Amino acid sequence: MTPQRTLPTTAVDVFVECHAAIRRGVLIQRESRRDKEFHFQDWFGGRLAGLGIQFDGVTRNAYPDFRLVHLPLGFETKGLRFPGRVATYDSNSQVPSGKHSGRDIIYVFGRYPAEPLREDEYPVYDLILCHGSFLNANLDYVHANKGLRGFGSYGDILIRDRKMYVVPTPFALTMNTEAQITLILPEATPVDQRIVERGKLVRTETDSMVVGYRFDLRNNELSTNVVPNPNAGRLHHFTAYRVAQEPGPLVTMAI
């Protein structure tokens, strides 16, 4: 009988499978020249399918990308070309978080070469799986796109407030994760002997936080509403892991 999956064991299962696939040379397959964003997502979906993990159908506007069927866990994939932009990524639909709709969220950042190894085939250069709370610890904010009518000389133009969040990647937040395969989880997460600890990471909540903004259409100026953070100075502890047979260098915070 197959043991019942839990969030920690599944996270480790997926991490170990991704590591094994990279070391076996399993390549990202781009289906067409127009597929500039989703080929890494497809590569990761293949790892879940190989483990027999069931997930809801993947649609291009859903969050997270992979929503598991039998466990309150989701995976959001972010493919990054190398060399290229690595310090930040654009999130067009959701601010990152460790929880969404009752699911824990794990982000999967994979870098691959800008030029294919062969036509439409790319190796995975390095990989970080990290719990969403490493990127943002706030669970209260709910993303929503809003709009208002009345703009323009005739008053019949709609302005859409469609937010984009520009978020630091874990490659920018940490040291010694480039050219490595790393898992970052909250410190208290139970794991097993397949992986080994390779660093303690701490993020500190900021003194103040933005709770609103105003855009003046007359002069194109943006102003913000900032309030004290009630959790200012709170520490959030995480642990970096690697597979036991390939521990690699110690992981530290970069900032």
Name 86's Cβ contacts closer than 8 Å, sequence gap at least 6. Answer: 80, 111, 169, 171, 172
pTM exceeds 0.75, yes or no: yes
Cβ neighbours of 234 (radius 10 Å): 12
Phi, psi of 113 (to 5 degrees): -65, 150
Name 147's Cβ contacts closer than 8 Å, sequence gap at least 6. Answer: 158, 159, 160, 161
How does pLDDT run along the chain (255 residues), one tens digit per residue?
A: 345 678 889 999 999 999 999 999 999 888 765 555 678 999 999 999 999 999 988 777 788 999 999 999 999 999 999 888 899 999 887 899 999 999 999 999 999 998 888 888 999 999 999 999 999 999 888 888 888 999 888 788 999 988 889 999 999 999 999 999 999 999 989 999 999 999 999 999 999 999 898 989 899 999 999 999 999 999 999 999 999 999 999 999 997
